[in-house]
Amino acid sequence: MVRVTRDGHGEPALEIVGLGEAMALFQPPPGQLLADTAAVEVHVAGAELNLCTAAARLGVRAGFCSRVGADPLGVRVLAAAQAAGVDTSLVAVDAAYPTGLYLKDVLPDGQRRVHYYRAGSAAAHLDASDGARLLAARPRLVALSGITLALGAGPRAAVDAVLRAAGPAGITVALDPNLRPALGDVDRQAADVRARLAYVDVLLLGTDEAGPVLGVRDPDDPEEVFAAAADAGVRETVLKAGADGCYHARADGTAMHLPSTATTVVDPVGAGDGFAGGYLAGRLRGASPAGAAGLGTALAAGVVAAPGDTTGLPDRATAAALLARAVAD
């Protein structure tokens, strides 16, 4: 298992660390349903791990902080993360609880139906000690999610430990609300995110989340969204608009639209995570918001063109070229 160290120049060995839960995903082969399939495919998924996988593909030193059970699914999560180039030295193996899992059906009309089995999982028992372990690694940026806040009091304590200490430690905080109806009351999830915005440096927000999180009258008006986020204490906001692309703010606060470059949509799951990983990696490496948004958009277009959360990411050579172009823009 790779250990966190510092490079020869004293820089943190990890540039981005995601905090959250990764789970095993079971889904039937294409064209079949869980109710009658004779076999399932097994994958590893999780918003924060997906984000870190995208960043790692771009050559950014990325790590994942979580807990997994001492079971075969935990072994699988660790192996998948390591194969993706994501450091797992901040993942604790907790023998007292199992690794979470979920099932996914792709319905005939293309809609996804998800069934979570994560209550009582190892990651649902994250607490402030996990936040302290992450902080001790001193990454340049930590990626947080509303999903982790929704997992319970312990995971909320882990997030809050990071939020309180990141600023004084010089660690940038990025937050994606990732509101999930399957995790309970969306209004409560939005309120939990809203209460923590004053600690957030970079907000990665979906247009469908702008109303619940920020209370804006017109969530489709990016300048209203940017102004509301700034009033809440956020330093930088990018607005994800799905098939319509994204919006980022110019220096004067006005909005710039960047259309999606997707030409084929096979599976939209994971596109937002790919975008977030690309955007944050670009900003860490010196890209402007426009360049970083272009990089995120390119990664999202690849993700939606292939089944699975990360299989559509570009190869490393292509990713390096995309990052170089984003920094040069």
- Contact yes or no for 229/237 (Cβ under 8 A): yes
Q: Report pLDDT for 12.
A: 58
Q: Which of 273, 309, 315, 329 is catalytic?
A: 273
- Residues 128-145, mean pLDDT to the nearest whole number: 97
**Interacting residues of 88 by C-beta distance below 8 A, sequence separation 6+:** 1, 2, 63, 64, 78, 81, 82
Would the pLDDT of 170 be above 90?
yes
From 20-29, 36-45, 142-151, 299-308, the region with the lowest mean pLDDT:
299-308
Q: Which pLDDT band holds residue 306 (cuts at 50, 70, 90)?
A: confident
Domains of the chain, earliest start first: 16-328 (3.40.1190.20)
How high is the mean pLDDT of the chain? Answer: 91
Q: Report pLDDT for 5.
A: 41
pLDDT digits (tens, 9 = 90+) for 77-128: 999 999 999 999 999 999 999 999 999 888 887 778 889 999 999 999 999 9
- Contact yes or no for 92/133 (Cβ under 8 A): yes
Q: Which pLDDT band holds residue 3 (cuts at 50, 70, 90)?
A: very low
SS3 for the chain is CCCCCECCCCCECCCEEEECCCEEEEECCCCCCCCCCCCCEEEEECHHHHHHHHHHHCCCCEEEEEEEECCHHHHHHHHHHHHCCCEEEEEEEECCCCCCEEEEEECCCCCEEEEEECCCCCHHHCCHHHHHHHHHCCCCEEEEEHHHHCCCHHHHHHHHHHHHHHCCCCCEEEEECCCCHHHCCHHHHHHHHHCCHHHCCEEEEEHHHHHHHHCCCCCCCHHHHHHHHHHCCCCEEEEECHHHCEEEECCCCCEEEECCCCCCCCCCCCHHHHHHHHHHHHHHCCCCHHHHHHHHHHHHHHHHCCCCCCCCCCCHHHHHHHHHHHHHC
Q: Report pLDDT for 266.
A: 73
Q: Which pLDDT band holds residue 309 (cuts at 50, 70, 90)?
A: confident
Instruction: Name the percent of the chain lying above pLDDT 70.
Output: 96
Q: Which pLDDT band holds residue 10 (cuts at 50, 70, 90)?
A: low
∠ CA 88-291-178 to the nearest 5 degrees? 50
Q: What is the pTM of this model?
A: 0.92
pLDDT digits (tens, 9 = 90+) for 219-277: 889 999 999 999 999 999 999 988 889 999 887 878 999 888 777 777 777 789 999 99
pLDDT digits (tens, 9 = 90+) for 182-228: 888 999 999 999 999 999 999 999 999 999 999 998 988 999 999 99
For residue 179, give the nearest of 155, 207, 137 by alpha carbon: 207
The answer to whether 273 is a known catalytic residue is yes
